[in-house]
Each structure stands twice: as C-alpha cells, then as structure tokens.
Amino acid sequence: MEAVIITIGDELIYGHTIDTNSRFIALRLSGMGIRTRRIVSIGDTEEEILDALRDAWQRVQIIIVTGGLGITHDDITRSVISRFRADFPGTGLIESAIDNEIGSAQGILLRLEDKCLSVLPGVPFEMKTMFERGVEPLLRQIVPAFFIRHKFLRTASVRESDLYHMLDNLPRITGLGSLAFLPGPEGVSLRITVQSDSEIDARDKLHRAVELIRGKIGPHIFGEDDETLAQVVGAMLKQRGLKIAVAESCTGGLIASRLTDVPGSSDYFERGLVVYGNQSKSDLLGVPPSHIAGFGAVSPEVAVDMAVGIRNISGADVGLSTTGIAGPAGGSPGKPVGLVYIGLADRHGTEVHRQLFTRDRLTNKSRFAQGALDRVRKRLVFLDQPSARDGFDR
Amino acid sequence: MEAVIITIGDELIYGHTIDTNSRFIALRLSGMGIRTRRIVSIGDTEEEILDALRDAWQRVQIIIVTGGLGITHDDITRSVISRFRADFPGTGLIESAIDNEIGSAQGILLRLEDKCLSVLPGVPFEMKTMFERGVEPLLRQIVPAFFIRHKFLRTASVRESDLYHMLDNLPRITGLGSLAFLPGPEGVSLRITVQSDSEIDARDKLHRAVELIRGKIGPHIFGEDDETLAQVVGAMLKQRGLKIAVAESCTGGLIASRLTDVPGSSDYFERGLVVYGNQSKSDLLGVPPSHIAGFGAVSPEVAVDMAVGIRNISGADVGLSTTGIAGPAGGSPGKPVGLVYIGLADRHGTEVHRQLFTRDRLTNKSRFAQGALDRVRKRLVFLDQPSARDGFDR
C-alpha cells in the first residue's frame, strides 16, 4: 500500500524551516509496511493545496496532510476541504474530526471506500500525538499485515571502507534484508532493513541479520538505534565503579561536553582539562617541556604524558587525552590536518592510538572525540576478559 | 517566476534522512525572487522520477533536481534524462554538463526556450558548490529583476518576550518589510525580510530596517547572519590582545568546545577547566570549601570564586565561569533546573549574573554557554567606553 505526504506552509517553500514532520510520518508509515511514494511541500495557497490533494488522491490510497490548520489557517483548510469534497457528490465520502487533546485545532479525516485522507496541524508535538492516537489505529485496520523493521548499529572509530571489507558475508545478509552504510560526524552507522507479512518473522529475520553482522564486526559496534557513545561509555564506567578524567587539546572540551550531555554523568566524570596551549600542558599536566620540544605537541609521547598526567592529578581511574590537528591550518607533511593521537592511562598501563581523518575542522573534532571515547569503551571491554589482565596488574 | 524542487532518494521517503538540500535551494531561489511552488521528494525509482520531471515541466519554468546522481545511481538518472529528452523531439532541447570541481558526479542541465532543468548530486557540499557556480549564474540571466533580501540579527542572552517589548516600533519596521522572531538553543534571532524590484531599493530598505531595530536592541545583537557568538567574542579578544580562560561546571566543556570550534582560537584561548565535582573546584581553582558548603556549589559566590581562580592560575586576562543546574535532576525550590550563575573576572574587577531557563538538559547547556559568552562580549563593549573604566583600574 502506498501513501503521499503533503506538508503545507510558506515557511517550507521559502526554505526558512526544515520539514521534519514528513520524516516522522514516513518513518511511522514505513513501520506499518506503507510505502511513501512522494512527499510534497507547498505554500499556504488554496489552489496549490487543492491541486496537491486531487493529484495525491489519484495516485495512492493513503494521504497524510500536515500544516495549514490552526488559528490563522483554519479558513483556508476548511475551504479547501469543502471544495475537495465537492469532487465526490453522492459517493458516500465520510468526513470526521480527529481529536486534538493538547492543542486547539482539530484534525480532519476523509474516507471513501479503501481511500483515506487525514489532515493534521503542523505543530510537530500536536501532529505526532494526533497521528499516533487518531490516524495510526485507523491505518492498522486498513493496511494488510506487513511489517518493515529497521535496526541501526553504531560504530565510532572505524572507516566505512574497513567495515565494508570486514562484512564479506553481505550476500547472506541481503538474503534476510538490506544493509546500508551511513557515515556521519559521529561515526559510521549500519542500517539493517527486513520485511515480512508476519511480525514474528520480521523480528526473527532482523535478529538473525543483526547476529550475522555482530559476528563479523561486533567489537566495533558501540550501540544500537538512538544510543550515543557517551551514554554507552558512561554506563560502562558507572557499572564498574570507575571515574574518568580527560585532558583535551585538539578536541577543545568536546569530549567533556559529550560526557556531561548525559544526565547523571557526575557519577563518573569529575573533571576535565582543556589544554590548548603548550604552556598549559606542562603547567597543568606535568608534560615535560622537553617532550613537547623534542617530539612535538602532536605526538604519541605527549598523548601518553597527558593521559598519565590527568589521571595522576585527578585521582581518576581512567585518564583520557587527545592531541592532534583539527585544521584548517596547522598541518605539515609529516603531521597533516586530521591527525590525532589518543592517549589512555589506567592502573594496568597506558595505550596510545593514531587516527587520521580528512574532513573540515568541526567534523574532525567530532570524529576525534568519538574515537577517543570509543577507545575507552574498547579498553573496558578488553579488561572484562579475565585473561586480559594477566601480567598487567601492578 | 516559479520553481519546483525535486529531491531524490529512498532515504528521504523512508524518513531516515531529513531533506536539507531543498531548504538551501529554496532559500537561494527566494533570494533571486523565484518562488518555489512545491518541493517534491521521491525514491530512487525510474518511473517516479520521470513522472515528477514531466509534472514539474508542465507547472513551472525552473526545475532543480538533487540526488539520484553518483557512483551507484548514475545509470538510473542518465536513463531517466534520456527518456525525458525523448518527449521533445526536434524542439531544440539543449543538454549540457554542470562541472563538479569537488566530487565525481557531473550535473546535467537541460534548456528549452525559457525553461531550465538542472540535476545536481545529493551530497550537500557538492550540491551547494555546483548550485552556486553552475546554476545560479544561469538563473540570474533568466529571471526578471526582483529582489528579496533577508537579514538575520542574532541575540544570545535575552528572552523572546523581552525583545518583543523592546521593539515597540514594529509597525514602522513592517512598513519596510517583515520581521520574524526565531528562538533556538543558541538564542533568539530576528529575521528581517524586504522586497523590491530594484536591488538598490531592497538594499536600502533592509539597511533602514536593520538600523531601526539596532536603535532599539543594539546592545543585545551579537552578530548578523551566519556569525556565531564564539567567532564574535574570539575576534573581539584577538583585536584587544586579550586571552581568556574558562572554568565550567554545568556547561561541562561546551564553552571551551565552542571557542575552539573557531579556527585560530589558540591565539586567545589557552586553557579551560571542566570542574564538574566540588573537589575539583577546590583542588584546581582554589574555591574555598567553606563557600561551597555555605552558599552551595550553585551560587553567585562560587561563580565569582571560580572566575577569579581560573584567571589567577592561567594568567589569562579574562576568567569566565559557569555553575548551575542543567537538569533533568538536581533542582530544588530555591535553585531550580535551568538556573545558572555566570562569573567574570578581569583586571578591573568581577561580575556575576544569574539567568534562568526552563528547557531540557541539552538546550539549557547551550543557553548557559551562550549566556556566558555573551557576558564576555557585553563586558568588552562596556570597557570600550572610556568612562567605563573610571575608578576601576587598580
């Protein structure tokens, strides 16, 4: 079954507002097995609205309209709907209202045989509630049982091309559903999509596809769906009763900010230092000036010094550091823009990792921060294996 | 003149990606006086794309298509365009390429008499560059002179309702153009829109409207259009040869991260401390434990202690601090969620400010950080007045 989504508002066609309503609706329709055939945005113009309604009515069974309802728009929409109804004299077209429990503007529902048109307000919060309570239950009755299920698997410190090579069993996943690679400033996500006419079967296929992928790249997956890396790392630290302290150069406070985006982060995060200049690295963290002069501020040696330094002065269990070149300036042939060293210190010892990205400043900062947090996650996972600590403790 | 924007991609009609390309294009068209009549999003389906192209060609003179071009999509689009061309045998339809200087997929341009259709890749960065270099100059030739001009005035630490009351001359602004209030996590912006069939007249109207508004709320405006507060504060510090250091509690590193988002920020930002716990406030900044116990960590006294402390230990010219309650937990009747104290110390003395927001954690963090940076801006502006420093220096 197919749908058309129509979003109304001059602010949309002027480009002043990004249309997020259609995304919400498309996602929900997709979850019911309804394919959105097109999304159309138009201005607050009666003729345009009527034209879009008529066109959509020819194409599909389900039409969802948002916007053009409300205190200032009521007249336009009522008038358009009344003109649209006039297309169907004596056909048994039924009009009813969709309750709005949290706002003032009621929605409108038109039904004729197997077709259904609903009009909702454009205010996202009202629209969502009315869609869930007034539209979705009706669609469930109309739509034959068909289930599409998605799962997002999140990674933070591995390249798309490397993931692709690790997943050499793509054809087997494809047998269950489809797989998409979605790179972004927070890392690369994988989207798995399966479909079936049985909910249990869809769930089972999704489960098997996820297991297949986890079998290949499990250690790189930090979470699923809406989980953030800072949430995952925070929960792991809390569960283990560990505290973390960070010393940031190139990430400039972004790691601390992401950690403290999570409610309750004070349980495991007590302090962070943004040591942007060389002087502050020595003053605050005890990085030997000779290391900075000899190896450079962006070097594995200084990354380790910083991680050890922040751990020592804070008394935290885990010390994490970054030093790198976010760009756009400051790169050199040996140390290009996008290079970062990540240092890690805990009671078992130290680690340092080199990563290279080639993006703009803000994307580099974001990837650096994610890479550093992912190192903490991988370290904690590693230490969970009993054998991992052999010969380490001291 | 009117346009239709068509964005292509299964990810759009599934609701997995928000379409930001159409917003960019609609804004740019609007700036040239071209009205976007509709925005249509469709999937990667040959028949749908062809249908949308034919429909748009009937409706308007200008069609801009994004997406459906690239390594994996090339065949579909080439094939659709070749089928579309077949609609116009012997009509003199001209096809040419649009150069892509930063990516692999070239764009396509079709022209027939006064109609023009351009196909650009969906990758936003490539699309924008190609639109500006390959499409906009052509449209400028086609479109009759009509000019819409916008100006955004940015504020960071004043409430929408307060701005509204200060702007009691709204009718006079309305005589020149229109004014919209746009609140967001970075503060409240004002959008002024004017239009004219003469570019000089449009520019003049915009200038007069901006002057009218600046006359009422000038001190609250930190910048225009795409300027960020961190850029503005950074430039002011640099110009004055001043360095800043920050001590953040509730903002958790976000102020430092915003300051270091700006290329070249190492000129004026040397270090920041994220002192999330009470112990770190005393250890690192010398905040007397008796102040924390007596006044509470979230208090004007501790905010001042923190600002003085970070200034002293860093040797920076300006010390900036935040202490507050971002939420969702941790509030009390006397100190509710959304409360922040901002401390400022420089060689002339100290300041402390109380602000109260009532949003979710991430919005509060963002408003707190903006409020703090805006205090630095206002302080520097204040100190520029010769009389401001009388009796201050010591």
Question: Residue A307: is its pLDDT beyond 50?
Answer: yes
Residue of A21, A23, A55, A359 to mutate for B, most B C-beta atoms under 10 A: A23
Sign of CA dihedral B379, B382, B386, B387: negative
- Give the number of beta-carbon pairs within 8 Å between A and B: 210
Q: How many Cα atoms within 13 Å fall on the side-chain side of residue B164?
A: 7
Q: How far apart are CA A219 and CA A374, in angstroms?
A: 10
Q: What is the mean pLDDT of residues B336-357?
A: 95
* Contact between A164 and A113 (Cβ < 8 Å): no
List residues bridging with B290 in a β-sheet: none
pLDDT at A394: 35
pLDDT tier for residue A313 given thresholds of 50, 70 and 90: very high
CA distances for B288 relative to A366, B278, B316, B341, B346, angstroms = 36, 10, 21, 17, 20
Question: Can you tell me the distance from the alpha carbon of B86 to that of A51, in angstroms, rounded to the nearest whole number?
Answer: 27
Which tens digit of pLDDT belongs to each residue from A117-169? Answer: 999 988 888 899 899 999 998 898 888 777 888 899 999 999 888 898 898 75
Domains defined along chain A, listed by start: 2-142 (3.40.980.10), 147-224 (3.30.70.2860), 229-389 (3.90.950.20)
Q: CA-CA distance, B367 to B362, in Å (whole number)?
A: 9
User: For A165-259, where are the E strands, in sequence order?
Assistant: 178-184, 187-196, 221-224, 244-248
Give the integer Cα–Cα distance in Å for B379 and B376.
5
| Predicted local distance difference test score (pLDDT) of residue A70 | 59
B26 CB neighbours in chain A (<8 A) are 12-15
> Residue holding tokens 């040419």?
B96
Prediction ipTM score: 0.77
Q: What is the mean pLDDT of residues A284-291?
A: 95
pLDDT digits (tens, 9 = 90+) for B235-253: 999 999 999 999 999 999 9
Residue A124 has a pLDDT of 85
The CA-based angle A346-A350-A351, given to 5 degrees, is 120
User: What is the Cα B239 distance to its own chain's centre?
Assistant: 23
Considering CB atoms only, which of A14, A15, A36 is closest to B13? A36
**In the structure, what pLDDT confidence band is assigned to residue B72 with cuts at 50, 70 and 90?**
low
Q: Measuring CA to CA, how many Å separate B341 from each of B252, B284, B324, B357, B369?
A: 14, 19, 6, 12, 11
Give exposure, B60-77, as e/b (b: 16+ Cβ within 10 Å). Answer: bbbbbbbbbbeeebeebb
For residue B7, the chain A residue with the least C-alpha distance is A39
Q: Where are the beta strands (DSSP E) in A106-186?
A: 107-112, 115-120, 147-155, 178-184
Please report, for residues A87, A182, A188, A337, the alpha-carbon distance to residue A366 in angstroms, rounded to integers and kept in the order given: 54, 16, 12, 14
Q: For A188-212, what is the mean pLDDT?
A: 91
The Cα A255–Cα A27 span in angstroms is: 31
* Phi, then psi, of B284 in degrees rounded to 5: -90, -30
Distance to chain B for A391, nearest Cα, Å: 33
Per-residue confidence (pLDDT) for residue A172, from 0 to 100 = 63
Work out the average pLDDT over B316-339. Answer: 94
CB contact under 8 A, A273 and B275: no
Helix axes of A74-85 and A46-59: crossing angle, nearest 10 degrees: 40
Cα B196 to chain centroid distance, Å, stands at 26
Q: d(Cα B12, Cα A33) in Å, to the nearest integer?
A: 16
Confidence at A71, pLDDT banded by 50, 70, 90: low
| pLDDT at A334 exceeding the cut of 70 | yes
* Mean pLDDT, rounded, for A273-290: 93
In the predicted structure, residue A364 carries a pLDDT above the cut 90: yes
Nearest residue of chain B to residue A245 (CA atoms) = B274
CA distance A262 to A139: 37
Distances (CA, A) of A90 to A87, A93, B7: 10, 8, 38
- Measured between beta carbons, which residues in chain B are less than 8 angstroms from residue A269? 252, 276
Of B24, B38, B261, the CB nearest to A13: B38
Nearest CB neighbour to A40, from listed B12, B25, B40: B40
Mean pLDDT (chain B, rounded): 90
Q: Side-chain half-sphere of A235: how many Cα atoms within 13 Å?
A: 7
Q: Which DSSP helix (H) or strand (E) runs through A28? A: helix A21-31
**Which residues in A lie closer than 8 A to residue B284 (C-beta atoms)?**
271
User: Each residue of A169-179: pLDDT tens digit?
Assistant: 565 676 788 88
Q: Taking the model in full, what pTM does it have?
A: 0.80
- Whether residue A272 and residue B274 make contact (CB cut-off 8 A), yes or no, is yes
Kindly state the percentage of chain A with pLDDT values over 90.
Answer: 63
Whether the pLDDT of residue B367 is over 80: the answer is yes
Task: Write out pLDDT tens, residues B123-164.
Answer: 888 899 899 999 998 898 888 777 888 899 999 999 888 898
CB-CB contact of A15 with B20 (8 Å): no
Q: How many CB atoms lie within 10 A of CB A87?
A: 12
Whether B276 sits inside 8 A of A269 (CB atoms) is yes
Please give the share of chain B, as a percent, with pLDDT higher than 90.
63
pLDDT at A277 over 90: no
A323 strand-pairing partners: A341
pLDDT at A29: 92
Q: Find chain A residues with C-beta within 8 A of B16's C-beta.
A: 27, 150, 182, 191
* A20, A254, A279 ranked by CB distance to B253: nearest: A254
Q: Give the pLDDT confidence of A365-379 residue by residue, as tens digits.
A: 999 999 999 999 999
Span of A196-200, A341-345, B237-241, B262-266 with lowest mean pLDDT:
A196-200
**Whole-number Å distance between alpha carbons of A78 and A80:** 6
Class of residue A71 by CB neighbours under 10 A (exposed 0-12, middle 13-18, buried 19+): exposed
Sheet architecture: strand order including B187-196: B178-184, B187-196, B147-155, B221-224
pLDDT at res. B336: 94
Q: Which residues of B touch A150 (CB under 8 A)?
A: 16
CA dist., res. A201 & res. A350, Å (int): 47
pLDDT for B147: 81
Contact A37 B14 (CB under 8 A): no
Q: Are A275 and A285 in contact (CB under 8 A)?
A: yes
User: Residue B66 and residue B72: Cα distance in Å, rounded?
Assistant: 15
CA dihedral B312, B314, B315, B318 (to 10 degrees): -80
Tokens of B5: 């924007």
- What mean pLDDT is predicted for residues A275-285? 92
Q: What's the rounded Cα separation, in Å, for the pair B343 and A317? A: 31
> Which comes out higher in pLDDT, residue A169 or B227?
B227
Residue A358: the pLDDT is 74
Q: Could you give the CA distance from residue B187 to residue B306 in angstroms, rounded to a whole number? A: 25
How many Å separate Cα A274 from the centre of its chain? 27
B-chain residues within 8 Å CB-CB of A265?
A: 252, 276
Query: Which residue of A38, A253, A365 is in closest CB contact with B272?
Result: A253
Q: Tens digit of pLDDT for each residue in A2-55?
A: 999 999 988 899 888 888 899 999 999 988 889 999 999 999 889 999 999 999
Distance from the Cα of A265 to chain B's closest Cα (Å) equals 9
Give the pair of three-digit tokens for residue B138: 């052509």
Mean pLDDT of B220-230: 96
Q: What is the mean pLDDT of residues B35-50?
A: 93
Q: Are B219 and B162 contacting, i.e. CB atoms less than 8 angstroms apart?
A: no
Tens of pLDDT, residues B9-35: 888 998 888 889 999 999 999 888 899
- B183-209 pLDDT tens trace: 788 999 998 988 888 889 999 999 999
Minimal CA separation from A33 to chain B, in Å = 11
CB within 8 Å: A19 and B15: no
Top pLDDT among A198 and B303 is at B303
CA A383 to CA A388: how far, in whole Å?
Answer: 6
Return phi, psi of residue A355, to 5°.
-135, 150
